[in-house]
Structures are given as structure tokens and as C-alpha cells.
């Protein structure tokens, strides 16, 4: 199972797009509170179109609550500050992909506690800041899914 974990997401359309991504790939979506919006936000619903009923979405009060509940085999933190390219990682069939808030990313203190091999990044041009969250999530989900022969 691919777990997409959004830590304190802020922008409803990004989460709506990721709901659609998860509905179409069989990935589970996990939202870590606090959220920067309500789940019935019109922008979130519009971005997710009618895929909400097909997505498996879970809410957690904290990242610790998520890891205690789900216990993924492997968890990767996704960050522009990562040293390991997404394409160099091996994705087991039970992997969690942890994305931070759109405006600030994952806390540096959290990243500092992980080995470099568990903090993944996408390659970008030198002066680029970041990709849109839902675009980045799609790249990671499809890489993990591809490595598992597109099995759910």
C-alpha cells in the first residue's frame, strides 16, 4: 500500500488534486492535523471533482498518531532539502510518502532526525524553489507504484 501523508496541508486545491491522485492509483491519503482548511471546502471539493467517494482518506491528530496506527514498512520524507534523489530510493509495497505544508515544508528538526537516504527530493534547476505539492506527490506515487509493478 502506498500511503500519501500530508503533514499540516494548507491549500485546499492541492489536497483535492491529491485525493484524485489517490483515487486513481489506490493509494491511501492521510491528513495530519491541523489542516489549513475544512474538508468540505469548496476549492478542495472542486479540485477533487467526484473522486472523493473513491479515495481512501484518513485523518490523524499528529504524525505520531499516524505512525502508531499505520506502521508503514518504510517512510520517506519529501523535501527540497533532501540529499537523495527520488529515483535512487527503493519503494517497498508498504511505503509512506510524507509531504510538508506548502509554504514551509517539513520541519528541519524532523528532517535532521532522519538518515539522508530517507529524505528524498526531486531534481530541479538550481534557482528553483519547489514544485506544486500535488505535482510532486504524483511523481512520487507513480515511482513507488511503478517499482511495485503497478499492483495495489
What gap in Å lies between CA 78 and CA 82, rounded to an integer? 7
Q: Taking CA 18 as the corner, what is the angle to CA 13 and CA 24, rounded to the nearest 5 degrees?
A: 130
For residues 6 and 31, is the Cβ–Cβ distance under 8 A?
yes
Q: Which domains does the chain have, with CATH numbers?
A: 2-147 (3.40.1280.10)
* SS3 call for 56: strand
> Which among 145, 36, 34 is positioned nearest to 91, based on CA atoms?
145
What gap in Å lies between CA 106 and CA 68, rounded to an integer? 19
pLDDT in tens, the chain (152 residues): 999 999 999 998 899 899 999 999 999 999 999 998 877 757 666 655 566 677 889 999 999 999 999 999 999 999 999 999 999 999 999 999 999 999 999 999 999 999 999 999 999 999 998 999 999 999 999 999 999 999 87
Predicted pLDDT of residue 38: 79
In this structure, what are the phi and psi dihedrals at residue 59, rounded to the nearest 5 degrees? Answer: -115, 145
Grid cell locating 102: 506548502
Q: What is the pTM of this model?
A: 0.94
Amino acid at each position: 500500500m502506498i500511503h500519501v501523508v500530508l503533514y499540516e496541508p494548507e491549500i485546499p486545491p492541492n489536497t483535492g488534486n491529491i485525493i484524485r491522485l489517490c483515487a486513481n492509483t489506490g493509494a491511501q491519503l492521510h491528513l495530519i492535523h491541523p489542516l489549513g482548511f475544512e474538508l468540505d471546502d469548496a476549492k478542495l471539493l472542486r479540485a477533487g471533482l467526484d473522486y472523493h467517494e473513491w479515495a481512501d482518506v484518513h485523518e490523524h491528530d499528529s504524525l505520531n498518531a499516524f505512525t502508531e496506527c499505520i506502521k508503514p514498512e518504510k517512510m520517506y520524507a519529501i523535501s527540497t532539502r533532501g540529499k537523495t534523489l527520488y529515483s535512487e530510493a527503493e519503494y517497498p509495497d508498504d511505503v509512506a510518502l510524507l509531504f510538508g505544508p506548502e509554504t514551509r515544508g517539513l520541519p528541519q528538526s524532523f528532517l535532521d532526525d532522519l538518515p539522508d537516504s530517507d529524505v528524498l527530493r526531486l531534481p530541479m534547476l538550481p534557482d528553483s524553489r519547489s514544485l506544486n505539492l500535488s505535482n510532486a506527490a504524483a511523481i512520487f506515487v507513480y515511482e513507488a507504484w511503478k517499482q511495485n509493478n503497478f499492483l495495489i
